[in-house]
């Protein structure tokens, strides 16, 4: 892409912000540069989803696609200094994939081609290097959640999942576990510094916390129990229900290719 003036860059940043509605206002920060944009397939708890990703000079942004890309929802913003990328070989279901790790959430993504994958990784690392100036912070990263379809049994006690013995995820290790194996709750500071999250027994012991086990369920006025509340998906997971699982290659065939502009090519206005 040719050089852009400051105003042209700002117009592009505003267009992305506006596509997220009122939530997009937090993207409107002085000095922010839209470096690249494109669509990636993200592996969620239940299925693979097409997501819109935007790389800025200081943050990585993604969200759910509405109206074929003209609008987006479920805005997620992660500072580049909080991101760790891990390159991966092609999987059976995910080609051109890599892992994006952050303190709050880690997930797999895949691009339409190997070239786009390499471009995304290189440009994220390049922008992150400018932010950190080569000095990475020491961070704890969230583990990826094992997809629901990956196991028919609890990964701790091997009990079979049924209509009454439901699947849950340990928020620390990401394993698929049954209710009895995940009754403990603990604060995992790098995910949420205030909320007690579901953890399996081994992870609870590894955290070294002193919390009573939940032996009774409390019910609110709407008939919803603590267990129901804790089973509710995170905001990220609720966003995954907008599309049915399909062959990602069908989505990618109609996508515009990933676009990129070097932040150093933003031409100051005169």
More confident residue, 217 or 139: 139
What gap in Å lies between CA 144 and CA 147, rounded to an integer? 9
What gap in Å lies between CA 201 and CA 229, rounded to an integer? 20
Query: Are 48 and 42 spatial neighbours (Cβ–Cβ below 8 Å)?
Result: yes
**Strand ranges in 57-111 using DSSP code E only, listed in sequence order:** 59-66, 71-79, 84-87, 97-101, 106-110
What gap in Å lies between CA 141 and CA 190, rounded to an integer? 7
Q: What is the pLDDT of residues 45-66, one digit of tens each?
A: 778 889 999 999 999 999 999 8
Stretch 119-147: mean pLDDT: 90
**Is the full-model pTM beyond 0.85?**
no
Average pLDDT, the chain: 82
Asked if residue 218 has pLDDT above 50, the reply is no
Domains in the chain, ordered, with CATH?
2-141 (2.30.29.30), 143-211 (3.30.40.10)
Q: What is the pLDDT of residues 136-166, one digit of tens each?
A: 778 899 999 988 888 999 999 999 999 999 9
Query: Which two tokens mark 210?
Result: 């002193």
SS3 63: strand
Min mean pLDDT across 120-134, 183-197, 221-235 is at 221-235
pLDDT for 267: 58
């Amino acid at each position: 892409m040719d050089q852009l003036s400051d105003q042209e860059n700002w117009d592009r940043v505003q267009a992305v912000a506006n596509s997220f509605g009122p939530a997009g206002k937090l993207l409107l920060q002085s000095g922010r540069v839209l470096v690249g944009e494109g669509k990636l397939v993200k592996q969620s708890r239940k299925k693979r989803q097409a997501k819109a990703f935007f790389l800025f000079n200081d943050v990585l942004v993604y969200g759910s696609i509405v109206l074929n890309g003209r609008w987006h929802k479920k805005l997620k913003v992660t500072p580049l200094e909080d991101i760790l990328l891990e390159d991966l070989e092609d999987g059976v279901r995910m080609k051109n994939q890599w892992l994006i790790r952050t303190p709050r959430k880690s997930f797999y993504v895949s691009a339409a081609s190997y070239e786009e994958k390499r471009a995304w990784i290189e440009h994220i690392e390049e922008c992150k290097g400018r932010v950190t100036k080569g000095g990475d912070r020491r961070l704890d990263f969230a583990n990826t959640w094992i997809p629901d379809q990956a196991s028919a049994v609890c990964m701790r006690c091997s009990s079979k999942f049924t209509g009454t013995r439901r699947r849950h995820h340990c928020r620390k290790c990401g394993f698929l576990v049954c209710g009895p194996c995940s009754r403990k709750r603990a604060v995992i500071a790098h995910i949420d510094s205030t909320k007690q999250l579901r953890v399996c027994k081994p992870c609870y012991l590894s955290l070294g916390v002193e919390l009573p086990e939940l032996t009774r369920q409390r019910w609110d006025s709407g008939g919803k129990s603590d267990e129901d509340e804790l089973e509710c998906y995170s905001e990220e997971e609720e966003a995954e229900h907008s599309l049915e699982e399909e062959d990602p290659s069908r989505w990618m065939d109609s996508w515009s290719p990933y676009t990129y502009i070097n932040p150093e090519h933003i031409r100051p206005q005169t």
